[in-house]
């Protein structure tokens, strides 16, 4: 960091102008465009890079390519979105009966009591196509009978699978046919999207082997962000046995990846109604 260096062809959020930034002793010493200082030309603010201090990066990446149900205000609206999605996939020839159709981010805690998920509703729309919809808080899933059989989970009249049973089931969705190629494409899109918002790093608390996962991703050239790979209590002892400490650099990351902190879940979630609350 002692020697001055130049970061070339930087584009600021909201600006199409490319500039060069000179860094000296960890500080911005100069900002220049081909004509004149960008600070004078476009009144652009330069701030330290933003960090997302708690994200599930894989799941967020999936929202850029999977059915997004965040705007659904009832089970009926969610099923309308699912019906349209399935029809589009059929017409485009991308609907494989052996692959899960996965949706994201429904918030049934905001829906009326008579507009809640049911197994009958999702079965009526999806038929034999395995469909699994994840809630926005990731603490439960709404699955049809076909997906329940493939995932090995039991569903009642609501079609909902909650907490630890859902965590285990959801991990199986990411191991289906074609899932790895889909994920890598969406991860690259997510990195670009984050960088376009001024985000330079994330603390990733995906429920996975994050240390090994990010070592492999850096090896594959996924290097657009700084990463702190979080650890859950279930994997803490293995991380200790493997010799990891918080702050250790991940091999092959060229300083971009480090071992993060441990995340502990003490109860549940408001949306899934499993949180421990002081009042009803």
Q: What is residue 265's predicted lDDT score, i.e. its pLDDT?
A: 86
Domain covering 64-173, topology: Diaminopimelate Epimerase; Chain A, domain 1 (3.10.310)
Phi and psi (nearest 5°) for 219? -65, -30
- Select the more confidently predicted residue: 5 or 256: 256
Check whether 140 has a pLDDT greater than 60: yes
Distances (CA, A) of 52 to 154, 214, 225, 265: 35, 16, 11, 19
Question: Residue range 33-40: average pLDDT?
Answer: 48
Cα(123)–Cα(258) distance, integer angstroms: 44
Q: What is the pLDDT of residues 192-228, one digit of tens each?
A: 999 888 899 999 999 889 999 999 999 999 999 999 9
Share of the chain above pLDDT 70, in %: 88
> What's residue 172's pLDDT?
87
- How far the first Cα of the chain sits from its last, in Å, is 54
Domain boundaries, the chain: 5-46, 64-173, 179-262
Q: Rounded to an integer, what distance in angstroms lies between the CA atom of residue 253 and that of residue 189? A: 19
State pTM to two decimals: 0.66
Summary mean pLDDT of the chain = 88
Q: How far apart are CA 167 and CA 173, in angstroms?
A: 10
pLDDT at 181: 84
Closest by CA position to 129, among listed 146, 104, 112: 146
Length of the chain: 280
- Rounded-to-10 torsion of CA 86, 87, 88, 89: 50
Residue 125 parent element (H or E): helix 119-126
Spatial neighbors of 188 by CB under 8 A, at least 6 apart, are: 222, 224
The confidence score (pLDDT) of residue 41 equals 45
117 has a pLDDT exceeding 60: yes
Residue 38 confidence class, pLDDT cut points 50, 70, 90: very low
What are the helix (H) ranges across 129-227?
Answer: 145-151, 163-173, 179-196, 210-219
């Amino acid at each position: 960091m002692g020697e001055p260096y130049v970061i070339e062809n930087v584009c600021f959020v909201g600006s199409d102008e490319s500039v060069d930034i000179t860094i000296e002793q960890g500080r911005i010493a100069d900002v220049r465009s081909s004509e004149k200082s960008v600070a004078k030309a476009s009144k652009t603010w330069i701030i330290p890079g933003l960090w997302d201090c708690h994200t599930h990066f894989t799941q967020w990446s999936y929202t850029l390519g999977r059915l997004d149900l965040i705007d659904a205000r009832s089970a009926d609206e969610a099923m309308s979105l699912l019906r349209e999605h399935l029809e589009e996939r059929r017409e485009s020839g991308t609907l494989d009966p052996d692959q899960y159709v996965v949706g994201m981010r429904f918030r049934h805690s905001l829906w009326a009591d008579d507009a809640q998920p049911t197994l009958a509703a999702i079965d009526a729309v999806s038929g034999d196509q395995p469909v699994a919809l994840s809630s926005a808080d990731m603490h439960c899933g709404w699955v049809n009978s076909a997906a329940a059989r493939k995932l090995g989970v039991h569903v009642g009249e609501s079609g909902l699978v909650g907490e630890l049973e859902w965590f285990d089931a959801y991990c199986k969705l990411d191991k289906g046919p074609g899932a790895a190629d889909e994920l890598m494409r969406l991860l690259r899109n997510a990195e670009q999207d984050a960088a376009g918002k001024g985000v330079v790093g994330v603390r990733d608390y995906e429920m996975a082997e994050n240390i090994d996962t990010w070592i492999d991703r850096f090896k594959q050239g996924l290097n657009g962000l700084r990463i702190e790979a979080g650890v859950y209590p279930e994997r803490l002892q293995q991380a200790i046995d493997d010799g990891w400490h918080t702050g250790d650099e991940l091999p092959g990351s060229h300083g971009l990846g480090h071992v993060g902190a441990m995340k502990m879940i003490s109860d549940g979630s408001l949306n899934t109604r499993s949180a421990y609350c002081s009042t009803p």
